[in-house]
Amino acid sequence: MTVRAKKTVQTTDLTEALRQAQAVILTDYRGFNVAELAQLRGQLRGQDVRYMIAKNTLTRRALQAAGMEDPGAVLEGPTALAFLMGDLQAPAKTLLDLSRARKPLPIKAMFLGKRVSPPAGVEQLATLPSREQLYARVVGGIASPVVGLLSVLQGSVAGLAYVLQARVEQLGGAPPPNPPEAEAA
């Protein structure tokens, strides 16, 4: 396979990955050796993230083919792309923690949809509640008014029962008289 054909295949692969990903985080992998990058890939793979190194010119072509914004000067120097396919919060947190670690993995930018955002966007994404927490909040928000209504109705019924019981006791504790139809039967 010629060099040009290999680059075409790589660009096509990058374009497809860009289109399928919910978010893409661009990092600078300088200072990491092959074993450390393999360990990072393995850690991210468990979070449904594909981490790959790509040449900047091929990345620009793939971004253009995918209809995404050109990040400009961000694509200078060594660049690796993390394609977030599933949950966004956990992998963003992992990459953010690595960027602050003993051996930092600098975050260059992030694509959310087709727009590029600065590294601060990754921090905002990492601090969002998880999907399960958001579901719990929605369910709690929906259930809260229903529970409140039921407690009010239950309180009204209980209050009515207390008033009736007090009236029975006030009348001497005797059970209410039977209606005349019940005595005739």
Residues 89, 152: one domain? no
Cβ burial 148-163 (10 Å sphere, 16+ → b, else e): eeeeeeeeeeeeeeee
Look at residue 179 in the predicted model and tell me its pLDDT: 60
Examine residue 50 and state whether it is found in any structural domain, yes or no.
Answer: yes
Say whether both 84 and 166 belong to one domain.
no
pLDDT of residue 3: 86
Same domain, 107 and 141: no
Give ∠ CA 49-55-61 in degrees, rounded to 5: 90
Q: What crossing angle do the helices spanning 89-99 and 120-127 adopt, rounded to 10°?
A: 130
Whether residues 67 and 109 share a domain: the answer is yes
For 49-72, write each residue's pLDDT tens digit: 899 998 988 989 998 888 888 888
Number of folded domains that form the chain: 2
Q: Is 76 found in the same domain as 144?
A: no
Amino acid identity of residue 111, one-letter, is: F
pLDDT score of 177: 59
Concatenated DSSP letters for 63-81? HHHTTPPP-GGGS-SS-EE
Average pLDDT over residues 148-174: 77
35 vs 151, more confident: 35
Average pLDDT rounded to a whole number, residues 141-162: 77
Kindly list the distances between the CA atom of residue 4 and the CA atoms of 7, 11, 24, in Å, as whole numbers in the listed order. 5, 10, 25
Does some domain include residue 185?
Answer: no
Q: Is residue 27 a part of any domain in this protein?
A: yes
Cβ atoms of 104 and 98 closer than 8 Å: yes
**pTM, full prediction:** 0.67
Query: Is residue 103 predicted with pLDDT exceeding 80?
Result: no
pLDDT reported for residue 48: 86
Residue 87 lies in a domain: yes
Residue 179 lies in a domain: no
pLDDT at 184 over 60: no
Q: Is residue 49 part of a domain?
A: yes
The percent of residues above 70 in pLDDT, for the chain, comes to 92
Q: What CATH number has the domain bearing residue 67?
A: 3.30.70.1730
Query: Are 38 and 96 contained in the same domain?
Result: yes
User: Looking at the structure, do residues 13 and 99 belong to the same domain, yes or no?
Assistant: yes
Q: Which of 52-61, 84-93, 164-173 has the highest mean pLDDT?
A: 52-61
Q: Which domain holds residue 140?
A: 133-174
